[in-house]
Structure 1
Amino acid sequence: MDGTGDAELLERSGNGDELAFQALFDRHAAAVMRYAWALAATREDAQDLVQETFLTAWRRAGAIRLVGASALPWLLTTCLNHSRNLKRRRARHDALPLPDEFRGDVRKAEAEDLAKERLRWVLDAIDGLSEPDRTLCRLCLIEGRSYKEAAATLGTTSGAVAKRIQRVRTILRNEVV
């Protein structure tokens, strides 16, 4: 399939031709890997980006319309988009960990007093929030529960929890300034 153009390989791949997709992969995998390596923080992330890029190409092969003769620009753009999605996912979930004394259900009065003393501004800001936001702060930011667990507790979606936590973090950050 050396003489076959990328557009034809994509069309044949869209019809389930695995050999055509393999030829497309063999033709562009090294370039996509080099590009992914430049975008990613780790080798594993780069490999995941390449995998996601070609998985997207396989799923959408019949619908992809190339601007030129090569599929490489489309593959690189798709890789860049997957990289941005990965960075957004990590940014949403990356936060500085709370010290152990603030995690979970604090039972000792001394630890609770110390926490209140060290985080008075946070507690005051949290007290000014609505009840659902206070509950989310307790579940996600203090107890370290996942957004999915918090959503199940509050009877909402994890997306809604993520948005509210993002808004609450902004409010808390503004309280520091």
Structure 2
Amino acid sequence: MGNIQLDDTELWSSSLKGDGDAFGLLFDRHHDRIFRHAYRLIPVRHDAEDVVATAFLELWRRREKVRLVEGSILPWLLVTTTNVARNTRRAAFRYRKLLNSLPRSDDARDPLDEVFSRHPLDSVDHDLAAAVRGLGAIDRQLVSLVILEGYTISTAATVLGLTSSAAKTRMFRVRERLRVALGRPIKIAANEMPNGVQP
């Protein structure tokens, strides 16, 4: 399996047949992109690395349910990375809560204050991060795929199990909310508008 030019569909098919080299090529091909996405969500390097490892573990663990989009495994990995990062944040919050419940002297400084006080979107534009925090889970994933990662709405819809029209309607509403929150217009392509709405 030395041909790195094989597309994801061929590599994934070989991986499902037990070809470890094919899975390794998929890992090598997408690791850097997934790490950048994880680091944007969890801006602590070793935590982001853990998120990446978990995302690829989930790729294999849930291999029977994985859907390639336009011949690429990357959209599935990006959504999974977003979910793993969210779960990591929740676990960190629970750990912080536990630490805070332990007795300590008044002058003891918590070394984790700086890490846990950050929000995973703080490495994105501050105003955009604040606006995105108010969105629901599906809408945050749409923003992640379409606005932050540059995928088309139809690709994001496929990854998230939405119809194209439902994704367009959601994205239109999200962009309107972000436009109001950011105080500046956000251009929406005509083919991304829900039926009956003019740009």
Give the TM-score normalised by the residue count of structure 2.
0.46
Aligned identity (percent) is: 43
Look up the equivalent residue of 1:60 and give its one-letter code. Answer: R
The answer to whether residue 1 in structure 2 is matched with residue 10 in structure 1 is no
Conserved 8 A contact 1:15-1:62: no
- Match of residue 74 from structure 1: 76
Q: Distance in 2 between matches of 1:23 and 1:99?
A: 49
Aligned with residue 34 of structure 2, among 32, 35, 57 = 32
**Against the structure 1 CA distance between its residues 92 and 27, is the aligned structure 2 distance closer, same or farther, given a 3 Å change threshold?**
same
Q: Any idea what the Cα deviations from partners look like across 1:66-100, whole Å, max 9, x if unmatched?
A: 12221111111111110011111222232224444
- Match of residue 91 from structure 1: 93
Q: Any idea what the Cα deviations from partners look like across 1:95-122, whole Å, max 9, x if unmatched?
A: 2244448xxxxxxxxxxxxxxxxxxxxx
Q: Where does structure 1 lack aligned partners over 5 or more consecutive residues?
A: 102-177
Q: Distance in 1 between matches of 2:11 and 2:42?
A: 28
Q: Distance in 1 between matches of 2:62 and 2:14?
A: 12
Q: Distance in 2 between matches of 1:13 and 1:62?
A: 12
- Match of residue 23 from structure 1: 25
Q: Give 1 or 2: higher helix fraction.
A: 1
Q: Distance in 2 between matches of 1:22 and 1:98?
A: 43
Q: Any idea what the Cα deviations from partners look like across 1:29-53, whole Å, max 9, x if unmatched?
A: 1111111111113111011011001
Look up the equivalent residue of 2:66 and give its one-letter code. Answer: I
Q: Distance in 2 between matches of 1:9 and 1:46?
A: 25
Aligned with residue 50 of structure 1, among 52, 71, 79 = 52
**Against the structure 1 CA distance between its residues 3 and 19, is the aligned structure 2 distance closer, same or farther, given a 3 Å change threshold?**
same
Look up the equivalent residue of 2:62 and give its one-letter code. Answer: R
SS of 2:62 mapped into structure 1: helix
Q: Per-residue deviation at 1:62?
A: 4.3
Q: Distance in 1 between matches of 2:39 and 2:7?
A: 26
| Structure 1 moving runs of 4+ over 4 Å | none
Look up the equivalent residue of 1:58 and give its one-letter code. Answer: W
Conserved 8 A contact 1:39-1:80: yes
Q: Which one has the largest radius of gyration? A: 1
Give the TM-score normalised by the residue count of structure 1.
0.52
**Against the structure 1 CA distance between its residues 67 and 97, is the aligned structure 2 distance closer, same or farther, given a 3 Å change threshold?**
same
Q: Distance in 1 between matches of 2:14 and 2:30?
A: 17
Q: Which moved more, 1:1-10 or 1:80-89?
A: 1-10
Conserved 8 A contact 1:7-1:69: yes
